[in-house]
Structure 1
Amino acid sequence: MTRTLILALAGTAATMAATAPVAAQQWSYNERGWRTVGYSRVDGRDNDTIRLPGVTRQRAIRICSLNAPLRLRDFDVRFANGGSQDVNTRAVLPAGRCTRAVDLRGNRRDVEAVRLRYEPILRNAARPVVRVQVR
C-alpha cells in the first residue's frame, strides 16, 4: 500500500512539472508581450510611488489591481531624463483587471517611476496590490 502511494505521488509530481512550462507559455502568449516591472501594496493613503529597477525602455504602460478593487484617479509616469507624462484614468479596477494600454510619448522611453493617485474602494478589506506592466 505504501509503495502504491509513493508511486502515485511521484506520478502526480511528474505530471505537474511537465505541464508548468506550458502554462507559463500560455500566460506570455495571452498577455501579448506585457512584462511586469514593479509591484506595490497600496496602503490607503492618497498616493504612492513605485520605483522601477534598471533600464526599462518601453513604448506602452498599464496598471493592474491584483487582489482587491481600486479606484485609480490618475498616474504619472516619470522618465529617466526628467520628463513626465500625466495619465488621467478615472477608472475603477476590479480585482484582477488592468487599465487600458497607454502609449508613452516619444520613442521607447526609459521609465524610472510611476506615481499613483487612487482611492481604495473597500477601506477595511485587504489592501490592493498594484502591478505595473510595460511593453
Structure 2
Amino acid sequence: MRSRCLCQICTCGRHHCPHGTTRIYENSGHSCPTTEYLEKYPTYGNVLPPQSLKPKQEFRACRGKMEGITTFKSDYRPYEIVKQPRPVPEEYKPKQGAIDLGTTYKRDFNSYKVQPVAIVRPLERKQVKRGKVDTVPTYKGNLPFQR
C-alpha cells in the first residue's frame, strides 16, 4: 500500500502537509498566465480587470542606507556641559561695638503694667422672692388687638 500525504487525506482545511508548496512556474522566467482571479472571474466585455496597487520597482525611492538621526536629534543638538564658576564668599568680619541683645518683639511691643479688668456684672444681685405671682399674663390680658 502506498502512503498518502496529509493534504490528500484531510478535507477539512485545518491540517496542512509538512512538505513545501509546489508551484507550476517556479523555476521558469515568466509568470503564470492564468491566475485564480482570472479563472473565477472571467473578463466581462471590454471591462479590464483592476490594476495592482502595488508600486512598481522603478518608482521606489533610493534603497540606500538610512540615516540614523531622528528629527529630534537633528533639531536639538547636544551641547557641551560646562560647570558654572562659583562666587568666592567674602571673609567674615564681625562688627565692632556693643551688641544689642534685644529682640524685635520687645522693640515693637513695649511692655506695660497689667491693669485689672473692670467688672461689668453688678456685685450684688437681689434675690427674687418665692411666691405666687398675682398679675395677669399678656395672653389673658385685655389687649386692643384681641377682640
TM-score (norm 1): 0.17
Greater C-alpha radius of gyration? 2
Specify which structure has the higher proportion of helix: 1
TM-score (norm 2): 0.16
Looking at both structures, which has the greater relative contact order when contacts are Cα pairs under 8 Å and sequence separation is at least 6? Answer: 1
Specify which structure has the higher proportion of strand: 1
